[in-house]
């Protein structure tokens, strides 16, 4: 409703005042000049696709579509163009320039020109292609930041021009495969090409590289991106583990038995929801659930918490697309560390009735699971309450109206005394 009102307001404003005036484009060499695109930095030997999104957006906003216009991409303002149409190592495909693969000599400024006999618009983009042996890592990186305790999902950036990349991405951290890492075997896993880092710690900071192979014209090409992750915050302080001292009967000395210390960790415990819980929500309404797990702080990082739908992962279940699992958070409490994992159902339907939701937690010390169910809230009682309130309001208004209409009129005391004074008595 709000969106509809805003759209109507925009239409009315445009009708009354006309469309907002756009600032005129500067001209150079007889062509209207668009601001340059963001520079692109890549590695040689990889497939590169150059696009001009800012240039295309200017054409769209200003409704520029000259008849019989040509879209030409050239290097360093060379008029004959930079590539062959659909063949060779460098190809122009519609409004993109493809390098299959790129070479260091491809570095330079590329000009896109949209022109006909009387109209011309140009834009530009600068491409830097580095040799693998001389590349500066800082030039190729995408900086990212995260907070300690955050549930992080890293996506391989700038892949939208390549098709069917999901699930084919290989992740590495600090020049070695990201999973498993020594001491971090349970820290990372992948979900549809994204790298999942639950409960981020300062040790997770570093350089991540995502690599994949793309199939273009029945030939494989390499593509890679590098991310520098910076972690802000301080790791939670964990108390020392519970210890007990037991005598070691296998060893004795002149002074008696020798004692040994054993670390005792408790298995994780699900404190919410309770087993057999039923979550209700009206038809079409959203629902947010939280699985809360209590565990030793030393075991928090290795403690896995997940939601299952009818025994399947959320992504593999029928709720995929209508439910989202995420928002893992670890907080320190008096009994240890509390792990929260949310499950959000966007809209409830009849299909969700009796759906079994299972929260599962496990670590090397043990495993626990609880079962809950989804249920549509009975709207009959709600409508009865609404009807009762409406009837009560209606009867109240009618009663007040009738009272005012038939209220007996009282005689004015002043008129009464005046009548007595004028009487013969």
- The values of phi and psi at residue 399, to 5°, are -60, -45
pLDDT tens by residue, 336-357 = 888 999 888 888 888 888 789 9
What does the angle CA 348 – CA 353 – CA 355 come to, to the nearest 5 degrees?
100
Question: How, if at all, do strands 120-130 and 40-43 pair?
Answer: parallel
Q: Where in the chain is the domain with CATH 2.60.40.10?
A: 18-130, 137-232, 269-376
Question: How, if at all, do strands 323-333 and 336-345 pair?
Answer: antiparallel
Question: How, if at all, do strands 31-33 and 120-130 pair?
Answer: parallel
**Two tokens, residue 352:** 């969700």
User: What is the spatial distance between Cα 34 and Cα 27, in angstroms, rounded to a whole number?
Assistant: 9
| The domain made up of 269-376 is a member of CATH 3.30.300.90 | no
**C-beta of residue 171 within 8 angstroms of C-beta of residue 195:** yes
User: What is the spatial distance between Cα 374 and Cα 318, in angstroms, rounded to a whole number?
Assistant: 14
User: What is the spatial distance between Cα 272 and Cα 361, in angstroms, rounded to a whole number?
Assistant: 12
Give pLDDT, residue 110.
94
Give pLDDT, residue 108.
92
pLDDT tens by residue, 269-294 = 898 888 888 888 887 788 888 899 99
Superfamily of 18-130 according to CATH: Immunoglobulins (2.60.40.10)
Among the listed residues 31, 115, 34, the one whose alpha carbon sits nearest the alpha carbon of residue 67: 115
Over the range 245-270, which residues count as b (16 or more CB within 10 Å of their CB) and which as e?
eeeeeeeeeeeeeeeeeeeebebbeb
> Of 2.60.120.10, 3.40.50.720, 2.60.40.10, 2.60.40.2470, which CATH number belongs to 137-232?
2.60.40.10
User: Torsion angle of alpha carbons 209, 215, 221, 222, nearest 10°?
Assistant: 0
Give pLDDT, residue 125.
92
Give pLDDT, residue 396.
86
Evaluated on CA atoms 225, 226, 230, 231, the torsion sign reads positive
- The residue ranges of the chain whose pLDDT is under 50 are 1-4, 6, 8-20, 177-187, 249, 251-262, 413-425
Among the listed residues 55, 66, 68, the one whose alpha carbon sits nearest the alpha carbon of residue 25: 55
């Amino acid at each position: 409703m709000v969106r509809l009102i805003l759209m109507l307001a925009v239409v009315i404003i445009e009708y009354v005042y006309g469309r907002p005036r756009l600032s005129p484009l500067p001209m150079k060499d007889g062509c209207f000049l668009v601001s340059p695109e963001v520079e692109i930095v890549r590695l040689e030997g990889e497939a590169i696709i150059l696009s001009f999104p800012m240039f295309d957006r200017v054409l769209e906003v200003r409704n520029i579509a000259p008849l019989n216009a040509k879209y030409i991409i050239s290097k360093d303002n060379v008029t004959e163009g930079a590539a062959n149409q659909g063949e060779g190592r460098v190809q122009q495909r519609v409004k993109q320039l493809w390098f299959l693969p790129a070479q260091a000599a491809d570095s330079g400024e590329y000009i896109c020109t949209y022109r006909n006999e009387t109209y011309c618009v140009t834009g530009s983009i600068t491409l830097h292609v580095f040799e693998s042996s001389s590349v500066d890592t800082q030039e190729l990186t995408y900086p990212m930041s995260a907070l300690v305790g955050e549930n992080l999902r890293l996506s391989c950036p700038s892949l939208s021009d390549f098709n069917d990349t999901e699930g084919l991405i290989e992740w590495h951290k600090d020049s070695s495969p990201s999973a498993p890492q020594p001491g971090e075997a349970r820290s990372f896993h992948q979900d549809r090409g994204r790298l999942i880092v639950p409960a981020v710690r300062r040790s997770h900071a570093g350089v991540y590289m995502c690599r994949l192979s793309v199939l273009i014209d029945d030939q494989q090409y390499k593509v890679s991106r590098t991310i520098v992750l910076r972690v802000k915050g301080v790791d939670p302080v964990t108390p020392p583990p519970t210890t007990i001292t037991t005598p070691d009967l296998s060893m004795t000395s002149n002074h008696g038995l020798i004692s040994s210390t054993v670390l005792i960790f408790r298995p994780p415990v699900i404190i919410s929801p309770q087993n057999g819980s039923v979550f209700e929500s009206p038809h079409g309404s959203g629902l947010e659930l939280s699985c809360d797990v209590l565990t030793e702080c030393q075991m928090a990082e290795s403690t896995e918490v997940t939601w299952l739908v009818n025994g399947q992962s959320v992504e593999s279940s029928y709720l995929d697309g209508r439910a989202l699992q995420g928002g893992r958070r670890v907080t320190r409490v008096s009994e240890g560390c509390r792990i929260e994992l949310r499950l959000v159902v966007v809209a409830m339907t009849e299909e969700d009735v009796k759906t079994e939701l299972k929260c599962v937690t496990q670590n090397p010390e043990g495993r626990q699971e609880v079962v809950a169910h989804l249920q549509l809230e009975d709207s009959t009682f709600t409508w009865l309450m609404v009807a009762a309130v409406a009837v009560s309001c209606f009867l109240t208004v009618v009663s007040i109206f009738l009272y005012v209409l038939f209220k007996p009129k009282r005689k004015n005391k002043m008129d009464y005394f005046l009548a007595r004074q004028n009487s013969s008595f």
